[in-house]
Structure 1
Amino acid sequence: MSEATNYRTAESVSPKHPDKLCDQISDAILDAHLAEDPDARVAVDVAGGHGTVFVTGEVTSRATVDVDAIVQRIAGDVEIINRLAPQSTEIAQGVDIGGAGDQGIMIGYATSETPELLPLEVVLARRLNQELYEHWSYDGKTQVTLDGEYIVAVVASFQHASHDELQNVVEVWLDEQTIAPVADDVALHINPAGDWRVGGFDADAGLTGRKLAVDNYGPRIPIGGGAFSGKDPSKVDRSAAYIARKIAVDYLKRRDAHEVFVRLAYAIGYDQPLEATVIVDGIQEQASGYDLTPQGIIDALQLKRPIYEQTARYGHFGQGFDWD
């Protein structure tokens, strides 16, 4: 491998990774509530592992949801501990008048370097993961390192995949993908800890919201810090992150730009953003032309629909969602 000049790396995890299982359970419970009650207040966190799934959080909803059935559909035959409670009245009083459900900073990003308008290393790691998941629909991870535009290293670890079979699929994918050249001395790390058969909740514990960089824009791009899954759109750490992505995409296309960052900030119980900054190819300005109140965001993106479980599989951006 040559001396580093412009290295960047991103990873992706499969839908059967323990953290992603928890994300999907959280969002499936959210979807089930929104399907019956679009005004449901939902904040569901899940911890799972070694035969047990613990569901906790706050739900205020008119819907009747079979939480156990949702968990079993996604996680299989596990013991389920359900500790859901109603939303705090002190939080609700600020949301009821149209205010944000929490304080926080939300980041939006878009770049012209890929069709998905995401960083190249993120797209490559995700596409490879999706390809491998087609062959082995189990727990797995991928990682791609670039030096400039060249792929110089690939890591692939997948449950139930033998080293030789996995390497063959990775090599074919590298030959067939067309968005990045491959270095002559590309390093392949295929099941580098050895072939493995025990994965998912049988091998490791998972938590909702633990794959923040995977869910966002990869490790090069700052994130606000809030997780997405399990939260209804009154929680601006989800809904405002989605509108921030839309603003970034809109400005990128409108200005024919290379890179756009968006920063939004909110206070709990207050409906207007404290900051709405757009940085277009390094030039900062105020975002304009958007209703950035929580209700305005919800209306613009139609966020009271049961659309969230699919976002919890491979990331929340660059997959053709309404905010992309």
Structure 2
Amino acid sequence: LKTTLEKNQQAILFLNRRGSATYVFCRDCGYALRCPRCETSLTAHQSDNSLRCHLCGYRRNTPQTCPACGSNRIRQLGTGTEQVESALQKLLPGIRTMRWDRDTTRTKGAHWEIMEKFSSHQADVLIGTQMLAKGLDLPLVTLVGIVLADSGLHLPDYRAAERTFQVLTQVAGRAGRSPLGGEVILQTFDPEHYVIQAAAGHDYQDFYQQELAHRQELGYPPFLKLIRLETRAASSEIAEKRARGYAEVLRGWIQNEGYHSSQLVGPTPAYFRKVRGEWRWQILLKGPNPIALLQNHPPGPDWIIEVDPPAIL
């Protein structure tokens, strides 16, 4: 990075996490600060000393003491774009940085303002999230650094590998779009993973073949159809009871009405088990034609149905 800047060129640092820390907790009692509406960990933002939920927008000030035990040993873990920018300014004093994420682009015209300033070389390094992945043509950018390249790779979602490969190759494509050439550096804890290897080599064919083999082995699209059924309720007990009851009904239809090619997975709490005050449970149906089962036995109005969903979180 230092060499790039000495050549009067620019760099991009990509990290698909906003904020300065993704987990805030008490070192004495272990209490973690979570969103009261979503049950997810609040993300710290140094810019306004706040804690925010990135699912529903809930916000509160960062406490000086633990709400549970009163200790002042509040600690923050994890990394976000704010922390990367802060660390960079300490490592290279005088460096001109800009951030491009949802927090810096809330106002009308903010996207274009950031792009205009960076394009006219009013900053040396652009630090951002997935917004950086598409549509940027920056001839002075000769270095792209991808921080925690595997951060989304191990989510419990059958499309996690596909999404990770897609965003890595798109971000990497921001370097070397001029005669100056370019370099891409991926920081990862899992350098031998086929997604990281394929992205580093820009090898679409290798990724395609390996990902298809995994999908076929596990019975995911495009080899089988996948249906995700989700129910939500203000009470976790109601959501769970409804999900377990409907799952038993589905199992009975599968066993007794000739739908033996369909496989039922669940019910389970969704990965984000509570969002905006509602508890979420889900059921997955896999098979050559699980749609026929639901067409003959449609669920009630308390269910959301997705066929080959973009995510199962």
Q: Is TM more than 0.5 here?
A: no
TM-score, with structure 2 as normaliser: 0.25
Larger radius of gyration: 2
User: Larger relative contact order (C-alpha < 8 A, sep ≥ 6)?
Assistant: 1
